[in-house]
Structure formats: C-alpha cells, structure tokens
Amino acid sequence: MMAGSGKKGPTADSARGNSSGDADGQRVDRRQKAQDRRERLIAEHRAEAASHTFETSDEVVIDGNAFLKPTAATKEEEETASSASVVSVGEPSSSTLSGAQMPGWQLPQIGGEDWQENPDPVAESDPLEKARVRLAALEGKSALMARGGAGAGGFSRTLSARAEEEVRHDQCAQGRRVAVYDEHLHAEGHALPPFEVYVHMPYCYRRCGYCDFNTYVTQDFGEGASQRDYAATAVQEMRRLRLWQEMTGQPSRLASTVYFGGGTPTLLPTRDLAAMLREIQTLWGLAPGVEVTTEANPDTVSAASIRQLADAGFTRLSLGMQSAVPHVLKTLDRTHRQKNVELAVRWAKNAGLSTSVDLIYGTPGESMDDWRTSLEAAISLGTDHISCYALTLAPQTRMGRQVKSGEIAPPSDDDEAAKYRLADELLSAAGYRWYEISNWAKPGKEDRHNLGYWRGADWAGIGPGAHAHYGRLRTWDSRHPLVWTRQIRRQILPWAGSEWVDDTENVEETVMLGLRLREGLSLDRVAQTAGMPVGAATLERLQAEDLIERFDGPDGEPRIRPTLRGRLLNDAVISVVLDDLL
C-alpha cells in the first residue's frame, strides 16, 4: 500500500521548519533515522502498480504488442471458480493452489527489463551467501578458496549446511525474544496488539515512471521465481513463518485484517489469491468481521473476477485511479481510462465489496483545475474511501531521472500544499472525513489494515521485500524474487535483515505514527513510553502556531492531533515533540 510512488503525506509550503527550531547534528541524524524508519515501516504496504488497457476490440496493444482482451466467463466457469474459492471466517480449510488462469481471462506474458536498477543485486543480497563467506573467512579461507564443492553457490556442502543452520539459529533466537517481550506485556496487564497479514505480490505488467516500490516486469527469473509460481512459494513462506512462531513460543492470534498489495495482485488468477487467503485462515484463523483487501489496477479486473474475489472471502477492493485527466495519466505512465475505474467500482459494489480509490497530486503539468477534476470524479464514484498522496520522485526512477536531466519539472511544495487543501475541502464537503493525513473515508469505512500500522499492530509480511512487525522486532524479506525463492526452498525464513527497536526508537515510532491520525496521540501513552511527559510549553507553542489541537479521548485522556496546517507541516510538528522528549 506508501513512499516513492507518491504515497506519503503532503509536503510543507514555504513555512516548513518554522516550528522546529535549531537542531544540532545529533538531532538531525536522529530525525533522519526516524524518518527512514517510518518510510520503511510503510513503504511496502501501499504500493500501486501499472498495467495495460483493455480496449473494445478483440485485442489490446501494449508497447506495440497485441494481446487478447478478457472475455466473459461462462456461467459454469464462474460457478466452478466460486465453489472452489469460498473461505468461511474462523474455520480451518485446506489449501489447494491452481496454476490455471482465472476463468475468462487470457493474460499476456510480458518480459523485458525493469525500468530501474534493482537496488539488491542477487549475489550481494543473499543472506545465505553472506553467511557462507563469513564462515569461510572464520576458517581462514577466502571465499574463492571455500568454493568448488557441489553445494549452494559453489561452497562445500558442509559449509553451506553450517550457514543455513546459523541463519535458522539466529531467526529462532529472534523469535524467542519476541515471545519473552509478549509475556512481559501480559504480565504487566497489557493486551497484545491486533495481528494482521500483509502479502506483497511484486509482479507488474509494466513499471510506472514514478514507482520505486519493489516491483518487477520480468515474470520469470528462473528457479521457480516467477509470477506463475508466486502463490505456491508464498504459501510455503506462510507455513515456515507460522512454524517459527509456534516453535519459539509466540502467542497465537487470529488475523484481524489481510491485505494483498504490490505490484498488481490481480494479475494472479483469482484461484491463487483465494488459495493464499485459505492458507492464512488455516494457519492463523480469521477474526470475526475480518477485513480482506486486495489492491487492483482498474484494467486487471472484470465483473466475474470481482464476484469470485467476494465469494473467496475478500471484503474490500482498492483501485489505483491516480487521476481522471488523460494527460496526467500519460505523464504518470498509467494506461487505464476513467471508464475502467467506473466499471470496476460498480462491479465491486454489485459484489458487496467496500471500495477505495487512490489519487496522486503534484504531477508535472497537472493544473489546479486538473486536480479538481480528479477529485470530483473520485467523489462521483461514491466509493467508501479515497486516498490522496503527494507525488514524490526517487532519483533512480525514470521520472526521477527526467527531473534530474531537466526534461520535466520537479513537484512543487507550494503546489502540493494547495492541492492538499483543496482535497480536504472537497472531500469533507462530500461527507468524507480525514482519519490519517493522506486518507479520507465515510464514517466507519476507514482502512482498518493500514490503521493497524499507525496504531502499532503486529503483522506478518509475506513476499519479496515485505516488512513485518512482531513486538519490538522488525524484519524485512529479501527484495529480489530469486533470492526470496531460494531462501524459502532452503527451509529458512526469507529475511534480508532484522532489528530490535530500542526504547528511544520506540518513542520515535509512537510519536510519528500517532501524530498522523485524527484520533491523535495520547499524551498519557507518550509519557509512559518516554518516561516523561511532553512539556507544557511545547504544547502551548504548537497550539499557538495552529499546528495542533488538544482534546480528550474516548476515556477522557488528553490527546493532541494535527490541525490542517499541522498536517501540512507534519514533519516539523513531529520534530518539535521529539526534541522535547529526547
């Protein structure tokens, strides 16, 4: 579902930093580290993908290649798919993966190079490779001398087995530490946070010029690392993760929400999405009233496929609309038409699914009238939820390189701030209420999964590059699908790394996440977490500058939340509070 694809909070206008005061180098470093942590926490959970356009003829042309458009599924095909996909909440079920395509669809197979250099080259990002090299060095051998056997990567079988055992031992130690942390919470009378599951499907038809998420247009990297085999491999990761939790004594919790992001999850056959959801139910169970979301490109769904998703237990569809203006979509490398969005929303409503659309503002060449047109078009859809994200361009993306070369103008802070204000005005007037800086919803229709991130829920992260949160433990999977697949096949969790959040970092997370929400930051919780309260002078200063408002929470506890100006200057507000505490 958030970061370089434009999915982040609004940037500040020329007043940025007026509330933060001067900071020494240590505080600057700390704030940068905190900002990096926040971006990493959410970066793989709000991804948006690009795809192709289905025209009205029998073929669709993509980059000069013709492919068959989707055809209507027969009644027999729909009934077969539906009967095979039903998931009943709270009950265990078997998991059977099907390699067949979704009924009624003939999907093109598009290869080619990804549009940006992968930041994790395969050889350098493989944790097992690193462990083998380290063990070889301890034995007084160079990596080259240690090679030559028949084991993985050319290392001897003995050394490779030792490396795998070392990785497993470290992962078990991390799991036991989580179990001890959870026991400590229980002993002090604290309830464990909700548990969620995020599944990252990294494949796309094409890569949008603004996207810096972990996505790939190459559909087959070999060794089973492919779009076709993705679901089966993801299920293996789920099973390995659940075994890790059980073996290390972590408490079992039902999944309160499930979210399929990417990439473009709806490139997979519906049967594969249903099978992964059934496996989650089998391993963890689904809480009553579970929210199950999948992201989708408007061009990768049909009335039949959406009905099948609903029958499989999905409850929510999040569509990447981005804009309703053709020239803006073209700049963003989006290929769908607004009609596709309208049809997808209608089909989802007919199937009983809750609906959401994502918009991006600040695209080069987008006027204020263009942005108003997109907002009004989104509102007219009658969706339950609308997200609005400021465009941000990472330097390694295609659009980032175009900005560097002067081919296109960079996004303007002032322009984005003005567009954020317009979004808040129009959405509020239409009955949508902001509940997180970049998100508005009809009452009761908030995105519960993403709210869990902001509230400090625990979640399992499945798929290449997916991040996870277990108590104070943070883990992230290997980004490259080939490395990820190799690790799973070696019977280890496919982590690229992990870290344990210390007390200072825990305070930073608590403040940063709470100050993005309408429900606000509990001052009592901050005082308990930090060991000291936020100073009265700091609160008065922020309130006097119209950056926060103070109010009482449901239990009468004092809280603060950002005003409209505070949302625009959110980083500055966070910095002021953290400077007072740390």
Query: Average pLDDT, whole number, for the chain?
Result: 81
Final residue belonging to a domain, choices 136, 153, 185:
185
| Count of Cβ atoms closer than 10 Å to residue 519 Cβ | 17
Same domain, 283 and 378: yes
Higher pLDDT, residue 38 or 554 = 554
For residues 509 and 507, what is the distance between their CA atoms, to the nearest angstrom? 5
How do residues 140-188 score in pLDDT, each as one tens digit?
Answer: 655 444 444 434 444 566 667 888 888 899 999 999 999 999 999 999 9
Q: Residue 173: give the domain boundaries.
A: 122-185
Q: State residue 320 phi and psi, 5-degree precision.
A: -85, 90
Decide: 388 and 359 in contact? Cβ < 8 Å.
yes
**Strand ranges (E), 334-398:** 354-361, 385-390
Q: Please check whether residue 373 lies inside any domain of the structure.
A: yes
For residues 267 and 217, what is the distance between their CA atoms, to the nearest angstrom? 11
How do residues 367-400 score in pLDDT, each as one tens digit?
Answer: 999 999 999 999 999 999 999 999 999 888 889 9
Q: Please check whether residue 48 lies inside any domain of the structure.
A: no
Quote the DSSP letter at residue 582. -
Q: Please check whether residue 142 lies inside any domain of the structure.
A: yes
> Residue 367 corresponds to which tokens in the numbers above?
């006027």
Same domain, 172 and 279: no
For residues 511 and 426, what is the distance between their CA atoms, to the nearest angstrom? 29
User: How far does CA 571 lie from the centroid of its chain?
Assistant: 21
> Residue 226 corresponds to which tokens in the numbers above?
């492919």
Distances in whole angstroms, Cα of residue 446 to Cα of each of 136, 299, 300, 563: 52, 25, 24, 19
Looking at residue 383, its pLDDT comes to 98
Helix (H, G, I), strand (E, B) or coil at 256: strand
Decide: 49 and 263 in contact? Cβ < 8 Å.
yes
Same domain, 146 and 215: no
For residues 464 and 428, what is the distance between their CA atoms, to the nearest angstrom? 37
Number of domains the chain is built from: 3
| Count of Cβ atoms closer than 10 Å to residue 230 Cβ | 27
Final residue belonging to a domain, choices 185, 201, 230:
185
Same domain, 128 and 232: no
Res. 356: pLDDT tops 90: yes
Q: Please check whether residue 36 lies inside any domain of the structure.
A: yes
Q: Please check whether residue 447 lies inside any domain of the structure.
A: yes
How do residues 420-447 score in pLDDT, each as one tens digit?
Answer: 999 999 999 999 999 999 999 999 999 9
Looking at residue 65, its pLDDT comes to 32
Same domain, 303 and 366: yes
Which has the minimum average pLDDT: 118-132, 160-174, 303-317, 553-567?
Answer: 118-132
Q: Please check whether residue 477 lies inside any domain of the structure.
A: no
For residues 12 and 289, what is the distance between their CA atoms, to the nearest angstrom? 38
Same domain, 546 and 570: yes
Same domain, 418 and 336: yes
Same domain, 530 and 430: no
Same domain, 30 and 149: no
The CATH number that applies at residue 354 is 3.20.20.70
Same domain, 364 and 440: yes
Q: Give the count of alpha carbons within 13 A of 186, CB side only.
A: 9
Reported confidence tier of residue 212, pLDDT bands at 50, 70, 90: confident
The CATH number that applies at residue 533 is 1.10.10
Same domain, 162 and 232: no
Q: Give the CA-trace dihedral at 199, 203, 205, 209, to 10 degrees.
A: 90
Same domain, 192 and 307: yes
Q: Please check whether residue 568 lies inside any domain of the structure.
A: yes
* Burial class of residue 501 in the structure, from the number of CB atoms within 10 Å of its CB (0-12 exposed, 13-18 middle, 19+ buried): middle
User: How far does CA 235 lie from the centroid of its chain?
Assistant: 19
Q: Please check whether residue 476 lies inside any domain of the structure.
A: no
Find the DSSP H helices in 193-249. 230-247
Decide: 85 and 95 in contact? Cβ < 8 Å.
no
